Amino acid sequence: MSQERILRLERDILSKNDAFAGANRARLKASGIFALNLLSSPGSGKTSLLVRTITDLQFHFPIAVIEGDQQTSNDADRIRATGAPAIQINTGKGCHLDAHMVGHALDQLPMAAGGLLFIENVGNLVCPAAFDLGEAHKVVVLSVTEGEDKPLKYPDMFAEADLLLLNKVDLLPYIDFDMTACVGFARRVNPRIEILTVSARTGEGLPAFYRWIEEHALDTALPAQRSV
């Protein structure tokens, strides 16, 4: 099969996805819902970060989650244990969420207007970068255990994100990780990216993430949560 045929198909897939993403974005905006698309490698700690964030913020405004994984409903089960509603999407052989899947999940998700929606993508630092889901922002999570070179080696993901959360900073004393180099690499790929260091395990740095959410949700109906 020709390279040209593959490229044409990719363009078709992405253009169809963009149409669904536009519809999701309009629908979320009409409901005043602030949506974040969380992206990372497998095992960077996205779900632990969400569990802690929901526990800390859920009495300030409604929070719901769409979970993407190849298999299992483990992550949605962990989210539901916090009391927040969650829909699990299993992609099977698929390596990313697309906007059509997210639209179907929105149909099923009991979600109040003026809330916060987290979409936890399939753990994959490559493919999900290309698929707009209708979110307000892409947030990339990188565990410091993965090494400082990842922004250069997987540039598309870091170029697409508005926020980089450097997670598991509680492990910094036990590993070789060059924070200055990592920040420099991320800014080289994406000069406008914001960067926060956090630990979902200890809670370190999470208040700054919560402030980031509040500041970026100002144009939606998400109520202020200054008491956090």
Stretch that binds a copy of itself, among 51-59, 131-139, 171-179, 204-212 (CB under 8 A): 171-179
Between strands 194-197 and 34-39, the pairing is: unpaired
193 binds a copy of itself (CB under 8 A): no
41 binds a copy of itself (CB under 8 A): yes
Q: In whole angstroms, how close is the CB of 189 to a copy of itself at the nearest point?
A: 9
Tokens 């990780």, residue located: 177
Q: Is 81 helix (H, G, I), strand (E, B) or coil?
A: coil
Among 19, 22, 26, 42, binds a copy of itself (CB under 8 A): 42
For the chain, state the CA radius of gyration: 17
Total binding residues toward a copy of itself, as defined by CB under 8 A: 44
Q: Output 67 or 214, the one with its CB closest to a copy of itself.
A: 67
Site for a copy of itself in 50-109 (CB under 8 A): 69-72, 74-75, 93-95
Contact between 167 and 45 (Cβ < 8 Å): yes
C-alpha triplet 218, 222, 227: angle, nearest 5°: 90
Among 52, 137, 138, 168, binds a copy of itself (CB under 8 A): 168
Smallest CA-to-CA distance from 33 within 137, 115, 136, 133 is with: 115
143 binds a copy of itself (CB under 8 A): yes
184 binds a copy of itself (CB under 8 A): no
Among 23, 109, 112, 152, binds a copy of itself (CB under 8 A): 152
Q: Output 24 or 44, the one with its CB closest to a copy of itself.
A: 44
Q: Output 155 or 223, the one with its CB closest to a copy of itself.
A: 155
CA–CA distance, 64 with 110 (Å, rounded to integer): 8
Between strands 116-120 and 137-143, the pairing is: unpaired
Q: In whole angstroms, how close is the CB of 20 to a copy of itself at the nearest point?
A: 13
156 binds a copy of itself (CB under 8 A): yes
Tokens 């999701």, residue located: 24
Smallest CA-to-CA distance from 117 within 133, 130, 141 is with: 133
CA–CA distance, 118 with 50 (Å, rounded to integer): 8
Tokens of 70: 């190849």
Binding site for a copy of itself (CB under 8 A): 1, 6, 9, 12-13, 16, 41-44, 69-72, 74-75, 93-95, 122-127, 130, 143, 145-147, 149-150, 152-156, 168, 170-171, 174-176, 201
